[in-house]
Amino acid sequence: MCNLKDLDDQESVPAGVYVPISVPVHLLNTDSSITCRAYHLTNQPQTDLHAGGGQEIIPHDRQPSQTYLKVLVKGATESGVPDEYIEWLRGIKHNGKQVPAMEAKLELDKVQLS
């Protein structure tokens, strides 16, 4: 990956907030798997998000920022991810936080969320 350092910096890896991990992702359209980079929060909260209840039970402080969701939507769109998945991303509940300097740098002004 040519932008790996930029991704790590964006995810606060140097500050120890997240650690990069490799995860297998199954591609339905080709029935194959690829290894993808993901970021794991180093200081895990005590809230059990696997207890059920969907997005409604995610505490406000554990919801992604609005800026982060825009990054995901833009990246998915540019990468040709299926529209259904992009619409699902747009519907994720966010905490409303924005990082205007990052949004300007990444040209996120036209990215729409639900």
Kindly calculate the radius of gyration of the chain based on its CA atoms and give it in whole angstroms.
15
Q: By C-alpha distance, which of 40, 53, 33 is closest to 12?
A: 40
Q: How far apart are CA 87 and CA 113, in angstroms?
A: 9
Q: How far apart are CA 48 and CA 77, in angstroms?
A: 31
Flag whether 68 is marked binding: yes
Query: Among all residues, which ones are annotated catalytic?
Result: 11
**Per the annotation, where are the binding residues?**
68
**Per the annotation, where are the binding residues for substrate?**
68
